[in-house]
Chain A
Amino acid sequence: MHPNKTDPNVAPPARTGFRAWLNHRMGLDDLLRITLDEPIPGGACFAYIFGSGLLFIFISQVITGIFLALYYVPSADHAHTTVAYITKAVTAGSFLRSLHAYGASAMVVVLFLHLSQTYIYGSYKGRRELLWLSGCMLFGLVLAMAFTGYLLPWDQRAYFATAVGTNAVSEVPWIGESIKRMMRGGTEMGTLTISRFFVAHVFFVPALIFGLLASHIFLFRKVGAAGPVSEDPFHPKLKAEPFYPRQVLMDLSLTALLIAGLGLLCFFVPMKLGPPANPADAQYIPRPEWYYLPIFQWLKYWHGSAAIIGVLVIPTIIVAAILALPFLDRSVERRPWKRPIAMVAYAFVVFVLLGLGLRSQYLDRHDNSVAQQLAKQNNEEDEYARKPFEPELSAASLAAANVTLADPLAAKGKTIFEANSCNACHGDGGVGTAAAPALIGVTAKFSPDQVAELFKHPTAKMTAGGMPPIDLHPDDVKALIAYVESLK
């Protein structure tokens, strides 16, 4: 008979071989035991599957996010091109990007289900205040991830939605404008905004999530699973069933559903990438992602002096009430039918959120000009999606092209520069070589007359370096100087 059957404190007999060595070094068996033997009062149940589902999506987001960073560049110049490259050129790029983007939506959905289950089952009761608080903070962080990640593709949709989102923040009295500038990295949206959102999305918020997630799981194991609504939140009385195997299988069923659902969605309806952000587009109608629609609609109702109530007072009260819930609701009653106030409050919040979201949709559909513009924007996205990937022209090529096009005098100078083999020593485009210095910026140090004089009579140092005096027609000298001036 196994010693564990009689005394759970006695360790199982030592294994032999590699596994014993590994366990001796890592305590792998103990870790597995702690994980799989987690007691679930009242037995396994499908209502408890959302937490591990969230963990799965989070890990998926981390992995797909890291891979997307292989090609992504966070700058207003390149962000859209690199996302277009991922979507249109890189193998499986569209699929991975879709997985990451739809993953964000899936995260919000499963998070809502997890929160609802916790609330309806009264699972926040009985020494679970910190567990609840860490969960609430994680909810906020997930929404922050969704908000910051949305901007990164830098297409029309992303740009204008974030412009509206950051503008809404400025409605907060006194400090709103400062927060907005802090978020944007200036008064306007630009490349500094992308840097800030990228750092928040990739380093700052994920670090907080990792920390809070660890504490959330630790606190959960510390106070134990809450079990069914009939269970005492402080002193579990029901017979417990270990996490493995039945609850593991139930949890895995949600994971399988998520994999299948997201996989099919990403394969058949890949995430769209619209045309690049054009801040000058005065007609674009911004719309946030679906989970931000209720807030978007809510903010429409509050303007002027009343804004403080809608933007600051009411949201603060709601957030404070949610955070303080386990401190305010001290009763041990967990059965929903015995907690009418809590249930009515829940139904009310869900109803308001749903109502606001649907109202926003309804208004868009029933305002002809808005509906037309939104349809037009949609068409533009589809049209852009059909175009093949076009590489971005690097800045160096543009400078060379501009010279020949913009200033005929400089263009003439370029011909003279090359015909006289100036580029032999000073390099193409005057970038400089081992034989002679760069000419870029020379005209900032010397006036055109001084440069002309140096052409005719080079200094001793120049002559020693191999610079011959230039004997050209004054018009050609002028052209040559114009060309040197144009060098960048």
Chain B
Amino acid sequence: MAESANRPGDADPLPPLEDRRSFLGALLGLGSVFVGGLLSVPLIRFALFPLLRRTTELKSSPVGELTEFSSLTDPVLKTIQIEQVDGWRKTISEKAVYVTKDSHGQLRVLSSICPHLGCTVPWNKEKNEFICPCHGATFTPHGGRVSGPSRRGMDTLETTVQDGQLRVRFQYFRQLVSDKEVIG
């Protein structure tokens, strides 16, 4: 501080810094840390919002009334609308699913995406099988694996019943593996 100390009018040299780093200094330091901490609370909450709340969400989609499927014999193709919330935007897309019954007569919803390489699998009424047009994978009416390159049966989707309505939560699964594994 040679510059300031030599200035005219600055008659007395400044007392050494150490002498003034006192209780007041400590108090100011603590106060600043406290206020700074307080001010950073909204910032942290703002930045950690995706940790505290869901920012992406796949809503369940209606498939149809339960009564519609009561006398179901063959798998039936249904187009569902999926609403996918991604932060501040949402995407509504259509996906094809099959409503079928398992061996106990319970309703089951299958993804129409082939677990082999992702082609849409059509239902073949004559052969009473699902037959993938791309590489010939075949599946039972319940979606179980019969033959072909697919390493697992067709993927069952999570269903719920709400007010007499069958709802399904559509998901994508990894292809070419033997275990059902959710993607994304």
| Residues B96-134 near A (CB distance < 8 A) | 96, 114, 117-122, 132-134
Given contacts A4-B16, A424-B121, A433-B119, contact A392 B89 (CB under 8 A): yes
Sorted nearest first, the 3 A-B pairs with minimum C-beta distance are A85-B88, A92-B42, A397-B92
Q: Which residues of B are found within 8 Å of A9, using beta-carbon distances?
A: 2, 5
Number of interface residues of B (CB under 8 A): 56
A433 to B113, CA, bound (A): 12
Check A5 against B16 for contact (C-beta < 8 Å).
Answer: yes
Minimum CB–CB distance from A465 to chain B (whole Å) comes to: 11
A457 to B37, CA, bound (A): 73
Chosen A-B contacts, 24 in total, with CB atoms closer than 8 Å, are A4-B16, A8-B5, A67-B46, A85-B87, A90-B49, A91-B46, A92-B41, A92-B45, A96-B46, A235-B8, A237-B9, A242-B14, A244-B20, A248-B28, A389-B88, A391-B87, A391-B90, A392-B90, A400-B94, A424-B132, A428-B93, A434-B117, A435-B117, A466-B133
Check B53 against A91 for contact (C-beta < 8 Å).
Answer: yes
Q: Is residue B163 contacting chain A, with contact meaning CB distance below 8 A?
A: no
Q: Is residue A32 contacting chain B, with contact meaning CB distance below 8 A?
A: yes
Check A433 against B118 for contact (C-beta < 8 Å).
Answer: yes
A393 to B133, CA, bound (A): 33
Q: Is residue A383 contacting chain B, with contact meaning CB distance below 8 A?
A: no
Check B88 against A391 for contact (C-beta < 8 Å).
Answer: yes
Minimum CB–CB distance from A97 to chain B (whole Å) comes to: 10
Q: Which residues of A are found within 8 Å of B94, using beta-carbon distances?
A: 400, 428
In the complex, which of the residues A39, A96, A235, A249 has the most CB atoms of chain B within 10 Å of its own CB atom?
A: A39
Write the A1-32 contact mask toward B (1 if CB under 8 angstroms, else 0).
Answer: 01011001100100000000000000001001
A397 to B49, CA, bound (A): 26
Q: Which residues of A are found within 8 Å of B183, using beta-carbon distances?
A: none
Q: Which residues of B are found within 8 Å of A425, using beta-carbon distances?
A: 119, 133-134
| Residues A357-400 near B (CB distance < 8 A) | 389, 391-394, 396-397, 400
Check B93 against A396 for contact (C-beta < 8 Å).
Answer: yes
Check B47 against A67 for contact (C-beta < 8 Å).
Answer: yes
Q: Is residue B24 contacting chain A, with contact meaning CB distance below 8 A?
A: yes
In the complex, which of the residues A84, A90, A401, A428 has the most CB atoms of chain B within 10 Å of its own CB atom?
A: A90
Q: Is residue B68 contacting chain A, with contact meaning CB distance below 8 A?
A: no
A400 to B79, CA, bound (A): 13
Check B117 against A424 for contact (C-beta < 8 Å).
Answer: no
A335 to B92, CA, bound (A): 71
Minimum CB–CB distance from B42 to chain A (whole Å) comes to: 4
Chain B residue at minimum C-beta to C-beta distance from A70: B47
A63 to B46, CA, bound (A): 12
Q: Is residue B182 contacting chain A, with contact meaning CB distance below 8 A?
A: no
Minimum CB–CB distance from A23 to chain B (whole Å) comes to: 12
A37 to B20, CA, bound (A): 11
A286 to B2, CA, bound (A): 57
A394 to B85, CA, bound (A): 10
Minimum CB–CB distance from A488 to chain B (whole Å) comes to: 14
A33 to B45, CA, bound (A): 36
Minimum CB–CB distance from A424 to chain B (whole Å) comes to: 4
Minimum CB–CB distance from B66 to chain A (whole Å) comes to: 24
14 further A-B contacts with Cβ under 8 Å, apart from A235-B8, A237-B9, are A9-B5, A67-B43, A81-B88, A89-B53, A91-B45, A239-B9, A242-B14, A256-B35, A389-B88, A393-B89, A397-B91, A418-B96, A421-B133, A424-B119
A82 to B55, CA, bound (A): 13
Check A2 against B43 for contact (C-beta < 8 Å).
Answer: no
Check B18 against A12 for contact (C-beta < 8 Å).
Answer: yes
Q: Is residue A302 contacting chain B, with contact meaning CB distance below 8 A?
A: no
Check B2 against A393 for contact (C-beta < 8 Å).
Answer: no
Write the B71-94 contact mask toward A (1 if CB under 8 angstroms, else 0).
Answer: 000000001000001111111111
Given contacts A39-B4, A95-B42, contact A71 B88 (CB under 8 A): yes
A71 to B93, CA, bound (A): 24
Chain A residue at minimum C-beta to C-beta distance from B95: A428
Check A91 against B134 for contact (C-beta < 8 Å).
Answer: no
| Residues B1-17 near A (CB distance < 8 A) | 1-2, 4-5, 7-17
A424 to B45, CA, bound (A): 45
A248 to B32, CA, bound (A): 12
A5 to B48, CA, bound (A): 51
Minimum CB–CB distance from A472 to chain B (whole Å) comes to: 16
Check A259 against B90 for contact (C-beta < 8 Å).
Answer: no
Q: Which residues of B are found within 8 Å of A249, using beta-carbon distances?
A: 28
Check A37 against B17 for contact (C-beta < 8 Å).
Answer: yes
Q: Is residue A238 contacting chain B, with contact meaning CB distance below 8 A?
A: yes
